[in-house]
A and B are shown apart, each in its own frame.
Chain A
Amino acid sequence: MATNFRISKSLAYVVAVTSIGLVVLYLALPVIALFFHSSPEQFISSLTEPKVIDALVLSLVTSTIAMGVIVLVGTPAAYFHSRMDYPGKNIVDILIDLPLVLPPAVAGLALLLLYGRMGMIGQYLHIFGIDIGFTIIAVIMAQIFVASPFYLRQAKALFGQLDPSYEQTARSLGASPLFVFATIVLPLTFEGLLSGLVMTFARALGEFGATIMVAGNLPGVTQTMPLAIYGAMQGDFNTAITISILLVIISFGIMAAISILTKRRGLLA
């Protein structure tokens, strides 16, 4: 009996070490390969190249604007969605999740067919001299489309889990709905919302497929970091590696921030 237990314990140990080892190797090796292909000198010299700086600035600016729009529109939308019952609510739920499973190229094509010069809305905007396709606005719209579920899903879940008796008590104590939202709902969901926001920013930063379809790959105009990697792959391999390392560092920082936030939330709970 004791021997059987020892064997099964050893077997579990072997399976655990092997499976976790495989996962770590599979995920870490490609990242390590990136760092091995570039020396620190090469990395630093490529960093100062105008096309790298342009792509970095454009990515950070567009991702920040996309994140801001998602928070401004998504927070009240997620709040009311979680608090209200209305016809078609299930369809709205599916729509919110749709960009997660939709291939980004499809999203980009769809956006182009809507906002492009010949698109459903774009053709009318064009009459007034407004063109969205292949501009920085198209980059931001693509980022909003693909990244919004990361914030909306998190916000929806957080607001849905919040005990309504807190808000009801606050209202009965004389607080207006806005005061209740600012003093009860936001503080109680803040850390979760922040972690959703960080994920949204990360997704916007890494967006490629939809952006290239609706905004093209114009250096200094619509060429974000992932597009710059694609462009540099045609001949400037070192630049592609430098931008990739930069994205890995930013992504790692983002994930570390989420991990710290989640741990803090766990301690508070």
Chain B
Amino acid sequence: MLDISVSRQLRDFRLSLDLTVKPGEYLILTGDNGAGKSTLLNIVAGLMTPDQGYILLNGTSLFDAGKHINIPPEERRIGYIFQNAAIFPHLTVTENIAYGLKAMGMGKPLREKKVAGLIDQLQLNHLRNYKADQLSGGQKQLVALGRAIAIDPVLLLLDEPYRALDSTMYAVVKECIHDVVKSMNIPCILVTHQISDQELVNSRTCRIHEGILVEP
């Protein structure tokens, strides 16, 4: 369960949000460019610091301005997929997926076994030695998803993962994300403009306008 109540002064307005996301639930965030959607994801991931408020994830405080708690991003265990997928260009698909496990100090045999399983699950076997510049937009998103779930995240943040995907890859990536959220039973915040995403099972749609949540 994710429970957020934060505020932060942005350039033109104040982001001020209260929201809750249950395990296995999608919170679909829509809104104009610059409304504060990506800022919210960055705040939850620990990449930006709110001025006030708190962030509770499964009862653990990730941020609490009053108690001076601010867990760094690397200790939050949040899977975050950026708009551009941010596939590390100097690493192969396999190395990208293994990155988080290596950073956390997992031994090589265990790491290789886990990465092989994820590559199988996401059907990336034929791409395992490819680098980012050899991948299509959809393939990059799948690699980013594999890399994010490799660390067994307790929350998934997705910033427009379907942007610029053709209809086939859109369906594939969407199904993979859906399967992951369902099987891992974790809360998920999805920033998107695709109307069909709002028909996802177990989803709730909110719109952000100038930093404030409004009903759709």
In the assembly, what is the distance between CA of A168 and CA of B46, in Å? 9
Minimum distance in angstroms from B171 CB to a CB of chain A: 25
A163 within 8 A of B: yes
Asked if B73 lies at the interface with its beta carbon under 8 angstroms from chain A, I say yes
Tell me, yes or no, whether B89 is within 8 Å of chain A by CB.
Answer: yes
Nearest CB of chain A from residue B144's CB, rounded to whole Å = 8
Nearest A residue to B78 via CB reads A172
- Contact status A169-B82, CB under 8 Å: yes
A161 vs chain B, min Cβ distance (A): 13
Tell me, in angstroms, the Cα distance from A169 to B72 when the chains sit together. Answer: 13
User: What's the nearest-Cβ distance from chain B to residue A22, in Å?
Assistant: 41
Q: Say if the beta carbon of B118 comes within 8 Å of chain A.
A: no
* Interface membership of A60, Cβ < 8 A: no
Cβ A169 vs Cβ B103 within 8 A = no
- Asked if A175 and B74 sit within 8 Å, CB to CB, the answer is yes
CB distance from B145 to the nearest CB of A (A): 12
The interface residues of chain B lying within 8 Å CB-to-CB of A174 are 74-75, 77, 100, 103-104, 151
* B162 at interface, CB cutoff 8 A: no
Pairwise interchain contact A165-B82, C-beta atoms closer than 8 A: yes
In the complex, the chain B residue whose C-beta lies closest to that of A172 is B80
* A160 CB → nearest B CB, Å: 17
- What total count of A-B pairs have CB within 8 Å? 67
Least Cβ distance of A113 to chain B in Å? 44
Q: Does B8 sit within 8 A of A, measured CB to CB?
A: no
B45 at the interface (CB under 8 A from A): yes
Q: Decide if A173 touches B45 in the complex (CB within 8 Å).
A: no
* Across-interface contacts of B77 in A (CB, < 8 A): 174
The residue on A at minimum CB distance from B90 is: A187
Q: How far is the CA of A184 from the CA of B100 in the complex (A)?
A: 12
> Which one of B47, B144, B150 contacts A171 once the chains associate, using CB atoms below 8 Å?
B47
Chain B 126-170 near chain A by CB (<8 Å), digits 1 or 0: 000000000000000000100110110000000000000000000
A residues near B147, Cβ cutoff 8 Å: 169, 173
User: Is A176 part of the binding interface, using a Cβ–Cβ cutoff of 8 Å?
Assistant: yes
Kindly provide the distance from the CB of A187 to the nearest chain B CB, expressed in whole angstroms. 5
Q: What are the residues of chain B within 8 A of A168 when measuring CB–CB? A: 42, 45, 47, 73, 80, 82, 86
B34-59 Cβ-contact flags toward A at 8 Å (1 or 0) = 00000000100111000000000000
CB contact between B103 and one of A173, A187, A188 (< 8 Å): that residue: A173
Asked whether A166 is an interface residue with its Cβ less than 8 Å from the other chain, the reply is: yes
Is the interface on chain B under 10, 10 to 19, 20 to 34, or 35 or more residues?
Answer: 20 to 34
Rounded to whole angstroms, the CA-CA distance of A179 and B74 in the bound complex is 11
Task: State the majority secondary structure of interface residues on A.
Answer: helix
Task: Tell me whether B47 and A172 are in contact (CB under 8 A).
Answer: yes
Q: Using Cβ atoms and an 8 Å threshold, which residues of chain B touch A166?
A: 86, 88
Q: Is B203 an interface residue (CB 8 A)?
A: no
A77 contacts partner chain B, Cβ-Cβ < 8 Å: no
How far apart are A159's CB and chain B's nearest CB, in angstroms?
16
Q: Considering the chains assembled together, what is the distance between the CA atoms of A166 and B99 in angstroms?
A: 12
User: In angstroms, how far is the closest chain B Cβ from the Cβ of A176?
Assistant: 6
Asked whether any CB of chain A lies closer than 8 Å to the CB of B79, the reply is yes
Known A169-B82, A184-B88, A188-B89: A175·B47 in contact at CB below 8 Å: no
Chain A, range 149-184, C-beta contacts under 8 Å to B: 163, 165-166, 168-176, 179, 183-184
Q: For chain B residues 57-111, which have a beta carbon within 8 Å of chain A?
A: 72-80, 82-84, 86, 88-90, 99-100, 103-104
* Structural contact, B88 and A171, CB atoms closer than 8 A: no
The minimal Cβ–Cβ distance linking A110 to chain B, given in whole angstroms, is 41
For B45, the closest partner residue in chain A by CB is A172
Residues of chain A touching chain B, judged by Cβ–Cβ distance below 8 Å, are 163, 165-166, 168-176, 179, 183-184, 187-188
Given A170-B103, A173-B99, A188-B89, 15 more pairs with CB closer than 8 A: A168-B42, A168-B47, A169-B82, A169-B144, A170-B99, A172-B78, A173-B74, A173-B151, A174-B74, A174-B75, A174-B77, A174-B100, A175-B74, A183-B99, A187-B90
| Cβ contacts A to B, 9 pairs, < 8 Å | A165-B82, A166-B88, A168-B86, A170-B99, A171-B73, A172-B74, A172-B79, A173-B100, A173-B147
